[in-house]
Amino acid sequence: MTRYLLDTNYLADAIRKSSRVRDRIRRFAQTGNRFGTCGPVLCELEAGIQQTGQPAAARRRLNTLLGVVRLWTIDPAVAEVYGALYLELRRSGRSLSQVDMVLAALARQMGLVLLTTDRDFEALPDIHTENWLASPAS
């Protein structure tokens, strides 16, 4: 069983009317894999939803998807990892957005595979990422 953490770009794709990411999430979930995201990603996604022509329809698809995608919380242990990541990146002259740092902290703390199209996470080689949007569905 693998546990996947969805970045905003994956949730955005998964709530489209037609989405191979959503189909793959459902297929993988049926075989025991788990999926989740976090509050900051939902906030970032909502900013995008409000700019669409049909925000209510996008929210309905999101709410349906949240039946499969869990909402993982930011607890004190994740916050501690966030702080360590901040210092690690700062010392190496790199930076990530705050949302990406929360994702990296969750991934590191919980041993999650991060589904993202962002290459910014390459600054953290211990964060395992996958980009299903760049590869054929399996």
- Check which CATH number belongs to the domain holding 9 and give it: 3.40.50.1010
Reduced to 3 states (helix: H, G, I; strand: E, B; else coil), residue 3 is strand
How large is the average pLDDT for residues 68-87? 97
Domain extent for 36? 3-72+111-130
Mean pLDDT of 81-88: 97
* 28 within domain boundaries: yes
Mean pLDDT of the chain: 95
Residue 57 lies in a domain: yes
Which residue shows structure tokens 């990603």?
Answer: 41
Q: Which two tokens stand for residue 90?
A: 């700062």
Strand 3-6 with 113-115, pairing: parallel
Residue 123 lies in a domain: yes
Quote the CA–CA distance of 27 and 94 in Å, as a whole number: 36
- The answer to the question of residue 61 being in a domain is yes
Tell me the mean pLDDT in the region 97-101. 96
Note whether residue 87 is domain-resident: no
> Which 8-state DSSP code applies to residue 68?
T
- Residue closest to 68 by CA, chosen among 106, 14, 108: 14
